[in-house]
């Protein structure tokens, strides 16, 4: 069973697991317990609150989805895959975060995702990933393509560094992850870049002549704190993904 099938990761999982029952929010709002009779052998729990800034304004709402939702998915009694985030770290490290590094979330979103990891229980694969993008839903790639078509120049943050991750690659890696023991795994695109680097690559690969004006996080003025460095790598043998730029090309081909 896939929860959150209407989102970008849910769409990718539905392609990778075509025999799964794909549930959107209309089928099951995971802030409520599972409907009577709902059953599965494996739950791919992609439903999540992903609006980082809005979580600061509505911490209870974010927790209801990212903590309560995981708990409700676990109530089905089946093994569970839960996707978490690089935002469980504070970003003060200057080399890749591995699974044994101590989490220290700075904002509401990261805290709810960390608490959601605990709510998953002992029969779960926790998949921490970062900077997700795909061919559906709201994400950085689709936003840059829209802005790039409208403007000659776009201001993009250049002091946050991470590993963009294509949801198609992440979904495929999930198949391989199921052969590993339960626990926490870091699975993110190979390579690293800043958001400004990522934007320039998007414009270059899509043939847009839009310029990128590099700004600081402070200049951007987002409500929620972001980790300055949040590259994720695995010390536990998690599947390795292709380079983020290869994922970008695959994503743009679908768009």
Which residues are annotated as catalytic?
A: 109
User: What residues does 85 pair with on adjacent strands?
Assistant: 129
- Write the DSSP assignment of 203-216 as a string of letters: HHHHT---EEEEE-
Strands 161-162, 193-194: parallel, antiparallel or unpaired by DSSP?
A: antiparallel
Helix pair angle (167-177, 244-254), 10° resolution: 120
Nearest residue to 8 (alpha-carbon basis) of 150, 202, 143, 106: 143
**Contact, 45 vs 84, CB < 8 A?**
no
Instruction: Determine the 3-state secondary structure of 101 from DSSP.
Output: coil
DSSP 56: H
Alpha helices, H only, the chain: 8-16, 52-57, 59-63, 69-74, 108-119, 140-150, 167-177, 195-206, 217-220, 244-254
- Give the CA angle between residues 10, 13, 17 to the nearest 5°: 140
3-state secondary structure of 48: coil
């Amino acid at each position: 069973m896939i929860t959150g099938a209407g989102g970008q990761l849910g769409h990718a999982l539905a392609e990778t697991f075509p025999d799964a029952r794909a549930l959107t929010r209309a089928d099951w709002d995971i802030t409520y317990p599972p409907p009577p009779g709902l059953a599965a052998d494996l739950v791919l729990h992609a439903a999540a609150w992903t609006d980082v800034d809005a979580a600061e304004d509505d911490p209870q709402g974010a927790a209801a989805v990212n903590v309560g939702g995981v708990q409700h998915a676990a109530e089905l009694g089946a093994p569970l895959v839960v996707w978490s985030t690089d935002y469980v770290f504070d970003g003060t490290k200057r080399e890749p975060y591995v699974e044994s590094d101590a989490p220290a979330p700075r904002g509401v979103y990261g805290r709810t995702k960390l608490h959601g990891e605990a709510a998953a229980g002992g029969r779960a694969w926790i998949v921490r990933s970062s900077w997700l993008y795909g061919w559906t839903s709201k994400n950085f790639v689709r936003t840059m393509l829209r802005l790039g078509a409208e403007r000659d120049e776009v201001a993009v943050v250049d002091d946050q560094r991470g590993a963009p991750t294509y949801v198609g690659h992440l979904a495929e890696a999930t198949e391989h992850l199921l052969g590993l023991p339960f626990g926490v795994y870091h699975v993110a695109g190979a390579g690293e870049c800043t958001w400004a680097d990522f934007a320039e690559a998007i414009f270059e690969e899509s043939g847009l002549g839009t310029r990128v004006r590099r700004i600081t996080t402070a200049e951007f003025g987002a409500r929620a704190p972001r980790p300055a460095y949040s590259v994720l790598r695995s010390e536990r043998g998690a599947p390795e993904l292709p380079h983020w730029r290869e994922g970008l090309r695959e994503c743009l081909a679908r768009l």
